[in-house]
Structure 1
Amino acid sequence: MNIHLSLGPLVSLIAGILILIMPRLLNFIVAIYLIVIGLIGLFGMGSMHF
């Protein structure tokens, strides 16, 4: 049996669970996500697939 895990859905699942447990984390999770996406866009690492 071959199991393929991708980083994006795994991070989304963990973030969703954390937001359900502690809703105040939503601001921090969204801010970190936007910063990471912005940095990837600025430095041209969009060709890398996580």
Structure 2
Amino acid sequence: MTLAFSPIVALIAVTLSPLVSLIAGILILIVPRLLSFIVAIYLIVIGLLGLLHM
């Protein structure tokens, strides 16, 4: 079973990662209670992407 690698998906992931990190960091500075939610959402998304081989 081979999975096709899409350069467009990789480019989107590379482009969005710093933007998502920046927004999350700003939100954590403004509302520190969001930290656990942001970390949980991040881990869930990364886990799902890993399971889907993206």
TM-score when normalising by structure 2: 0.70
Q: Which blocks of at least 5 consecutive residues in structure 1 are unaligned?
A: 1-5, 46-50
Q: What's the offset of the Cα at 1:44?
A: 1.1
Instruction: Report whether the alignment pairs 1:21 with 2:30.
Output: yes
Q: Identity of aligned pairs, percent? A: 82
- Cα distance in structure 2, aligned partners of 1:26 and 1:10: 17
Q: Which runs of 4+ in 1 moved over 6 A?
A: none
Q: Mind listing any 5+ residue stretches in structure 2 that lack a counterpart?
A: 1-14
- TM-score, length-normalised on structure 1? 0.75
Please point out which of 23, 34, 41 is paired with 1:32: 41
Larger helix percent: 2
Structure with more relative contact order (C-alpha pairs < 8 Å, separation 6 or more): 1
Once the two structures are superposed, residues 5-41 of structure 1 have per-residue CA deviations (whole angstroms, 9 ceiling, x without a partner) of: x211111111000000000000000000000000011
